[in-house]
Each structure stands twice: as structure tokens, then as C-alpha cells.
Structure 1
Amino acid sequence: MRLLVGLHQLGLGGSQLNALDLAREMAHRGHQVGLLGVHDGSEPGPLAQRGRELGLPVWTVRHRRQRPRRGAPCRPAVSAALTAAVRAHRAELLHVYEYPLILDAFHGPHRRLGTPLATTVYAMDVPRWLPADPPLVVGTQELVEQAAAFRPAPWLIEPPVDTDADDPARVDGGAFRAAYGIGDTDLALVVVSRLEPEMKAEGIRRAMAALPLLGDDRLRLLIVGDGPSAARLRAEAAQVNTALGREAVTLTGALDDPRPAYAAADIALGMGGSALRAMAFARPLIALGTGGFSRPVTPQSTDYFLRAGFYGVGDGDLAAAPLAAQLAGLTGDAGLRQRLGQWSRQFVLDRFSLKTAADTLTEVYAAALSRAPGALRRHRSALRIAAHRSAAELAPGGLRRRIRQVAPWR
């Protein structure tokens, strides 16, 4: 099959890395895979080069807006680029990630050419106005149940991990520790994350604020990543370092290959796919979220994380003390860190392997090819999306609820 995979960003990020890993696995299974990605800078992000290194044909489109303008059905330039790439690749199926690119794909090659479409949303909510016909993949059981209330039941593919590449036996973290002056007796707390204000920055800020509360000079917090919040986090890190009189917090910037950072960690912090990659490296993990959420991932907490994903929403209290207490339970017990690390690796091997995810994705693709709607249904779906998005973006809350009650969304 000729498959085109669309990435909503070409910068490093969990959703994009998951998409690229699955594209590579599909290529290994004999499919002719191409890659299209959106970037907002003067140069494409690092995933464009990584796709080329995998031997995939790569198309890129520059667009400064991350989302369509209010009231606009899509980003016309991105939609046109997708259509052109589908034609150039002679794609029989298009698989796109995250909702802005889903709209671009729907109004572009899916609606214009009838190209079958599969979609994935690894964000932590699913908009009601997404097209209902193309199969939808989400990353948690909770999202499956939520979305099934207003659309055909989504497929569950939890963020996959390449457990062969993300293996502590194959990656040495020693050089990373040495590069940042982390001694043998120091404890490295590592966050690998896109530095975004909406979800990621809050947890990182609480991790920085926890260090003065712990009063442990062994602790070094390494923040690996880049993004819109980098400058502000760097300034706050400088304040923490000044208060402690040492370099307790270091922002390394983004790494094309963050595996040495995971391997260098004594304790990992993070969410989503990054959290699972840290666990694959046999590191104990504290999962971060928003609203003050943090929780260690242990055999006792897996029921929560398997349902909600490796993320959470707290009660709104952003105090660092709860996270500091969770860290103290790990920093003070080397045996516990080792046991949790070993369990974490096995947990990922058993549940989140790339092979298992690709097996399910093969079924998703079969469903997309078998139920591609005709032109009339695609145009009716476009009207549904436009009406529902208008309700979501423009109408007051009470009117939105009234529209949902009477409108034929399915």
C-alpha cells in the first residue's frame, strides 16, 4: 500500500515521534510510506531529516499558524500541500496526526480527491466537530469512552515505544552526565519535554520549585527540550540557582537524540510518550500534568494511568510541596529506585511495544480503506464540521448545549 503520513509539526514532540516510529514500522512491513510535515520556521524541524535518514520521501510546508483561523474550515496552504503530496506519492491512504492537520486533510485530499483518511489525536481531548467517518485513534481508554458518546467508537493505540532503541543496555548516559557536570554521587532528575505553555511548563516549574524544599545538594534537574516557554523557564531556573547558590537546574535545549538524557537519569519526570520512553530506560517515573497534578508510576497506580494516560489534572493547587514529597520518597531510597526502574522497563515491554501498536494500526488502515465515504457524504460531513465548529468557537455555552441536543452530529 502507498501510505502518506502527516505530522502536525516537524519539531521534536511526543505525537510526532510516535507517528514517525509507526511510519518506520509500516515501511518495514512492506508499505511505501511518505511523510509530510508542517513547520513554522525558516527551516524544517529535525524530524524532516530523520524521515529522510529512514529512506522516506519527505514533503514539508511552512505555515506560521498552528490552527485554522476562527471560522475558516482549514489552512488552505497546508490543505493544498497535502493534496499535492498525495498526488505526487500516489497515496492510497492518508494518515494524519492532531486536529489542525485533520481539518487540512479532510478539506484537502479527502474531500477533493476522495483519498481514504485515518486520523490520530494524542492530545488529551477530542473535539466533537472532528469528521466522524474516518477512523480515529486516541491514546487512552478514557478518551475512547468520551469520544464514543458522540462519534463511532475510536481505536485505542497507546503511545508506542521502540523498546529496541530505547534500551538501557544499548545507550550509555555517562557522556551526558559528564557533559553537564553530574557526578557519581549526584542524582539526576530528568525531564524530556517540548516546552509548551499550555500543558508542559507548569509541571516543569513545579519541579524547579521543589528543589529548595528538598534541601538535597545531590539533586540536579536537567530539562531537555525547547519551545515557546524556554526563555521564561530559563529565567526562573536562574532564580532557583541563585537562591541555592549552585547550578541545580540546567536547560540543555533540544537534543536530536534524547536517549542519552533518559539513560543518564536517576529519576524521570514527564508525561505522555516521554514518560513511557523514560520507563523503557528502566527509570522510576513521576508523571506530571496540569492543575498541580503529579503522581509516581508504580504497580499500585497503573490502573489510573492505563485509563487516563500518563498525565493528569489536579485540583488547581500549584504548590510544589506534594511533588517534593514524592521526589523525597525516591531520592532517599536507592533500592526503591532500582526496583521501580526494573518494573518500569518490564511494564513497557509487556504493554507498549511498537509491534503491538503497529498490529492495531494495520486494522485501522483496513477500516479506513473499507469505509471511505462517497462525495455526497463527504460534503455533508463538511457542513456538519462547519456548524459544530462555529458553535464551539462563537456561541455562548448555553447555546452550544442547545445545538448539541438538536443537531444531527453523526
Structure 2
Amino acid sequence: MPAIRKKRSAFLILTLFATVTVLGLLWAGSHSIDERVITIRYLLFALSGFIAFATPYMLFPDSNVSSIQLGNISGAGLIAYLLGKMADYYWPMLVLFLILAFGDIHTPLEDLVTKGLYMILATTFFIGLNLISITRYLKSGPDSQFWQESEKGRDMRRKFADYFKYPLDPGSIPSLINTLIITAAGMIAIVAGSIFYGWLGSHYEIIAALLILLAGWVMIHKLKTNPEKNYYSTNAFFREFFGSDLQGDSVVERRKVEQLWWVPVPIRANVWQFMQQLDRKIPAGRVVAVGHFLIWFIAYQRPEQEFMTALWILFALAHQLFVMLSMQNSMAPGWLLRWVGSGTNWFFTRFWMQLRWLVPLLLSMNMQLFVFGIPGFREQFLITLFFLISAMITSAIGVVQLKRDFK
């Protein structure tokens, strides 16, 4: 199994660990124990929706499906592979739980039992809800294909297109139902835990999290007997799922170069190429939207201004991961880029592609300034500067890589 999943560099792991630790301390380092408990509850409440939304994008379509077929990985081995894949994404969240619970700057040795209890509660809830989410989405493939291909699904598509002018893909109905069920289960569990806390005391709040973990374990255990059929059908569906218009045609295929009016003509076709490739690999717009939602959720808790500024800077830097994706050979082979244009051309192409995120970033920051009073204009200038400089640096890295590959 380790041979299939890509190994993470030690530098990346240490960087993520340090970043999460610093953010956790900035967020809750000066909190009292009661504030710490409320922060963990709010975070788990938001994570309920995030897990429900993000799971299919993290698991499918799986680029390792050919290796899994050749290796004849099945049963418990396939489940272990999927769990490991999710762990690669989510281990920083477990670090954050640890920091939120024990990262107490003022009274580090007080309320250790309560802190430990809520760290276990958060970890238990998080793992359990992920197990439920993985199981439900893994089993959604056959149902999604039925709705996608059946006359019933086509009829529903036509009705939504005619009456609501909404591009509903009927194959997404099972995913929509899963999103609602998983989100509701997580949020209800958090509310139930709070009720147990009020009635019986803090030690009983963990009951709801344990029930979520038990439900997830039972569901994933039942799936271990024969998960292959569900895995392959679900993977095939999600490979074709993203982006449909009113007639069910792929939006990616229908996007025209001329629609990128905001891009200078000399590099417009190049930007279009990268956007096409990115859209096929990851729903970038949805990922960024989730990022904005999480920042607004944290801002709702009124943390310190320094923490929010640091969070916005980190979010601005995270946008540049899309540029890093565009450097993969599977997305943009070096020989093709050198044949089509110069290094300078590709520098401005990647940089300009990132400018599309600048307007939503500024709008979101100014709306947050209006609602919560942060970040101020000085902080916004700093965040914007970080965004632009990081976009230039990552674009320059692409040029350096192009020249290095040529040698």
C-alpha cells in the first residue's frame, strides 16, 4: 500500500506541523477553558459540513485506480488504502485539535483532564464522521450512475432546466443527499453533546462523539467484505461528474477562449489551457469558496486581529498551490510548453491565471471588515502584497523548472 500512495517530504510535514501549531496558538493560546471548549465545538460544527462536502473530491477520481487494479487490491486492503489517503489530507487537523486543547499559554498545567477529554472528543468525532462519509460516498456510485443514465434522471434534468433554470446533474442527487445526511448527523451530534454537557456535566459530552465513531466503525466494517464494485463504479462516476450545463454537456469542454476577456490577448490561449487542465483535476472555484467559508466561520468567533491577519495571509499563499499543480508533467509537459511559448510567456500566464482570485479575496476581506471590523485596510494591503509576491515567486519557479527540465 505505501508504494501506491505518494510519500510526503519531511520538509512539507514539518512545515505543516509548524504552521498548524502557530495558528492554533494564535487562535486559542490565551483562551480560558470555557472558551477553549466553545472553540472546539464551533470547529467541529463547521467540520461537519466540510467533511460532507470535501470527501468525494479527496477520494475521487482516484489517479491510482490502475495500480489498484493491477495489484488486485480488494477487501480490507482497499479500505485501508482509502483511509490512508484521507489521513494524508487530515492529519494536520488532529494536530490542531491537540493545540486547541493543550496550547494554553497562561495556565498550561490547569484543567488537564478537561483538556484531554475534549481533545479525545474532537478526535473521536472527526474520525467517526469521516468513516461515515467515506462509506456513504463509496456506496453512492451505482445510484449516481442510475440517476445519470436513466430516463427518470433525464426527465428531472429537463424539468430543472425548464422551470428553475438550474443546471442540475441528476447523477449528483445521491451526493447531495449524502452531503445533507452527513452534515446533519455531525451537527446534531454536536448539539446533543452540548445538551449532555448541560444536563450531566462535561464528562458526558463525549457520548455523542462515541456514537458517531461507533456508527462509522460499523458502516466501514460492513463494507470491508466487498468494496471493489462500489469503488470502481463510484470512481468512474466522479471522473465524469464535475461541471454540467442545462443540457448535461461538460462546462469544461464548452468554455471558449474568448470568454477570458480579462486576460491579455497574447497569453489568453495559454491561460485557457491551464484553466482547462485544472478544472479537470480539481474544482478550484469550489475549493476556494470553502476556504472563504472557513475564514468567515473563524471570524465569527471574534479572534484576535493578529490571528485573523495571519490566517488571511496563509489563505492568500494557499491560492498558489494551483500554480504548483500546473507544473506537473501530467498537466503541462515541459516539451509542450517550450514548443508553444517562452519562459517569460509562461511566467505571465501563470501569474495572470492567479489574478482571477484577487477580486474575490478583496471582496471577502472588505465584507468581513464591514461585518466584524477586521481586517483593516492596512492589513488588506499586506495580505494583497503577500498574494501578489507569492504568485510571482511560484510563477518564477515554474520558469526555473522549465529551464531545468530542458537541460
Quick check: which one's helix share is greater? 2
Larger-gyration structure (1/2): 2
Same fold (TM over 0.5): no
Quick check: which one's strand share is greater? 1
Taking structure 2 as the reference length, what is the TM-score of the superposition? 0.27
Taking structure 1 as the reference length, what is the TM-score of the superposition? 0.27
